[in-house]
Amino acid sequence: MSHAQVSRIERAQLRHASLADLVAVSTVVGLDLSVRAYPGARPVRDAAHLALLTRLRERLAPTLVWRTEVPLSLHRDARAWDAVISRAGRPIGVEAETRLRDVQAVERRISLKLRDGGIERVVLLLADTRTNREAVRADPDRLRSMFPVPQRDLLRALATGADPCGSGVVIL
């Protein structure tokens, strides 16, 4: 493969690149290429994700404002919070995960959103599955440092419309 072809791949300037070429370029820089397929026929692609967010929303005090897919305020930034809960001008970001595959990646993504999004608190909302519970149990200190508010306290505060006084993990 020519240097020019590699450069076009790295800059996403090719309309079509073969899977073999993408694997070759990824391998050279020490990456594993991962490809996923998503169903395209349904208007709601992730019904489980939507159901998880609905379970949290049903536990909120009626005085709290709930918005979904809230974009970060940076110009041309495509990132968004899955939901934002607002109370007295203090928004709380919600990141929902139906399957927690990589705790470090989720922490990095949330840290960057906190840095760039003007929000100080976040709820990491996880579906109540064996895989997610195992992921949380695998390294509880890591998650506790970023999400120190216990689930019970966080849910109690949100149910009453009170300030949860920090970020936390909620498994529903």
Element (H, E) at 22: helix 19-28
Question: Which carries the bigger pLDDT value, residue 124 or residue 29?
Answer: 124
Pairing of strands 121-126, 92-97: parallel
User: Do 6 and 25 meet the contact criterion of CB atoms below 8 Å apart?
Assistant: yes
Overall pTM > 0.85: no
In this prediction, residue 65 has a pLDDT band, given cuts at 50, 70 and 90, of: very high
pLDDT of residue 13: 87
pLDDT of residue 39: 56
Work out the mean pLDDT of the chain and round it to a whole number.
Answer: 90
Distance CA 150, CA 144 (A): 9
Torsion of the alpha carbons at 43, 46, 51 and 53, rounded to the nearest 10: -110
Length of the chain: 172
Question: Which carries the bigger pLDDT value, residue 41 or residue 171?
Answer: 171
Distance CA 142, CA 146 (A): 7
Residue 92 clears pLDDT 90, i.e. is over it: yes
Beta-strand runs (E) in 10-155: 65-71, 80-86, 92-97, 121-126
